[in-house]
Structure 1
Amino acid sequence: MKDNPIGVFDSGVGGTSIWKEIIHRLPNENTLYLADSKNAPYGNKSKQEIIDICLKNSEILINKGAKIIVVACNTATTNAIDILRKTFDIPFIGIEPAIKPAALATLTKAIGILATKGTLSSDLFHKTAKEFASNILVIEQEGTGLVPLIENNLVDSIEMELLLQKYLKPMISHNIDYLVLGCSHYPYLIPKIREIIGNKVTIIDSGFAVAKQTEKILSEQLLLNDNITPGEHYLMSNSNINTLNHLVKEIDNTTIEQVNF
């Protein structure tokens, strides 16, 4: 089992931001990445639809030998992680908006959350926000339209610029000092976001924390790969792979295929 790959899935290419953190921290691990771009974004689907998709994605990765699965999608985690853990015998690592560190660190008592509708409306999000952010201003903003633009390699488009201006300007006017990115696609927007919000606002995403937790669980389960050679990485998408190729072009030992699932 130690040689078996780490499985990762997301509603498309955005989870590669998490996947990159994992292979940077665990360079000798083999990985499987499933980009469910055909169903992106998950954020506008019903809870049951999201659960059904996550069960299917997990089965695909397990059938290909995954020893652990990282759900590299906020919407999938907040809606389906409990079901996945009850259904399958391998460990699951989830990802959710980092409200807690932002709420504890803010000095202006105002933070922004940029996320999908599915994440912002989930029970887990509301529970976390109520527990850690009840005494501060939390500006929630649905990132409608951002994921399709990223999926189509249009990060630098006029459409992206206009959407980000629309979503971020109200946060700036409320004097936020932390911006939480609640979607694994959004780290690819950090340069564009930084141009709008400046350098005084701290941007938080979950990639580093997820990679660290993945290492911790693998170690506890005695599943860390003992090999000293660099890992091999297989990425599959059920849609056009051009954007996926573009986003991971700097990573060695990768095989990328378009697959029907």
Structure 2
Amino acid sequence: MSNNPIGIFDSGVGGTSIWKEIHQLLPHEHSIYLADSFNAPYGPKGTEIITELSIKNTELLLKKGCKLIVVACNTATTNAIAYLRQSYDVPFIGIEPAIKPAALNTKSNAVGILATKGTLSSTLFSETSGRFANNVKVIEREGKGIVELIENGKLYSDNMKLLLSQYLEPMLEANIDYLVLGCTHYPYLIPMLLELLPPHVKIIDSGEAVARQTKAVLTENDLLNTEITTPKLEFYTNGSMDVMRSLLGEGFNVEYLKF
């Protein structure tokens, strides 16, 4: 099993930001990435549909022999990971907005969270926020329209800049000093966010922590690939191959797969 691939799925191309962190930390691991761009975004969908889509993605990755599955989607994690863990024997790694470090380190006592509707309205998010950010002012904003623009290849468009300015305005008025990115598509916005935010505002995403957790769980379960080989890296999408290629960079093969 240790030579089997890590499986990663997301409601589109955003989770490639997580894949990059995992690949950097675990360069010899084989991996299969599944972008369910046809059904993006998951955020506005209800828990039942999000769970059904997560089951479909999980079963496809299991058929391809994956030894561990990373749910590289905040919305799928907060709505479906408990069910997935109960239903399948492989380990699952989830993604949660990094509220804890922001709440513990804020000096202004105000943090901003940009996330999808599905994440912000979930029980898991509410519990995490209540546990770590009770005494901190949390300014939540649903990043409506952001995932759609990224999935349509309009990452650096004027529309994107306008949306971000609107979502950041109430956060800046509240004097936030941390911005938590609660969707795996959002790290691709960091260059633009750095232009729009004052220099003292720190941006936090979950990618590096997820990679460390993936390594820890593989180690615990004796699933680390100990062979020093060139890894097989597979990328599948049921949306635009060009958009995924533009985010991954050159040298990666992206295939269209109807699922």
After superposition, give the CA deviation of every residue in 1:42-84 in whole Å (9 maximum; x if it has no partner). 0000000000000010000000010000000000000000000
1:149-168 CA-partner distances (Å, limit 9, x unpaired): 11112111110010000000
SS in 2 for 1:193: helix
Distance apart, 1:198 and its partner CA = 2.5
Q: Which residue of 1 is the match for residue 86 of structure 2?
A: 86
Specify the alignment match of 1:143 in structure 2. Answer: 143
Q: Aligned residue for 2:57?
A: 57
Partners of 1:102 and 1:249 in 2: how far apart? 30
Which residue in 1 is equivalent to 2:187? 187
The one-letter code matched in structure 2 to 1:100 is K
Give the drift of 1:130: 0.8
Is the partner of 2:222 in helix, strand or coil?
coil
| Aligned residue type for 2:131 | E
User: 2:182, 2:159 → 1: CA distance?
Assistant: 20
2:254 is matched with which residue? 256
- SS of residue paired to 1:69: strand
Supply the distance in 2 between the matched residues of 1:230 and 1:129 (Cα, whole angstroms). 41
Question: For the residues of structure 2 that align with 1:156 and 1:80, how far apart are their CA atoms?
Answer: 31
Alignment of 1:155-194 (within 5 A): 155-194=155-194
Which residue number in structure 2 is paired with residue 9 of structure 1? Answer: 9
Provide the C-alpha distance between the structure 1 equivalents of 2:130 and 2:141, rounded to a whole number of angstroms. Answer: 17
TM-score by length of 2: 0.99
For 1:75 and 1:117, the matched residues in 2 are separated by 8
Q: Deviations along 1:118-151, whole A, 9 cap, x unmatched?
A: 0000000000111111111000000000001111
SS at match of 1:7: strand
Provide the residue aligned with 1:100 in structure 2: 100
User: How many Å apart are 1:199 and its aligned residue?
Assistant: 1.7
Residue by residue over 1:217-259, the C-alpha shift from the partner in whole angstroms, topping out at 9 and shown as x without a partner, is 0001110001112312000001121100111124x5x331001
Report the residue type matching 2:83 in the other structure.
I
Q: Distance in 2 between matches of 1:51 and 1:155?
A: 28
Give distance in 2, aligned partners of 1:87 and 1:124: 19
Paired letter, 1:41 = P
Q: Deviations over 1:172-198 (max 9, x none)?
A: 111000000000000000010111112
Q: Secondary structure at the match of 1:217?
A: helix
> Partner of 1:230 in structure 2?
230
What are the Cα deviations for residues 22-58 of structure 1, in whole angstroms up to 9, with x where unaligned?
A: 0000000000000000000000000000000000100
Secondary structure of the equivalent of 2:43? helix
Question: Offset at 1:171?
Answer: 0.6
Matched, 1:22 2:48: no
Runs (5+) with no aligned partner, structure 2: none
TM superposition outliers: structure 1 runs of 4+ over 4 Å: none
Query: How many equivalent pairs are there?
Result: 259
- 1:213 partner letter: Q
- What SS does the corresponding residue of 1:148 show, helix, strand or coil? helix
* Partner amino acid, structure 1, of 2:213: Q
2: CA distance, partners of 1:31 / 1:49: 26
Matched position secondary structure for 1:42: coil
Q: Please name the residue that 1:117 is paired with.
A: 117
Q: Normalising to structure 1: TM-score of the pair?
A: 0.98
Work out the CA distance in 1 between the residues paired with 2:106 and 2:143.
Answer: 22
Identity of aligned residues (%): 58
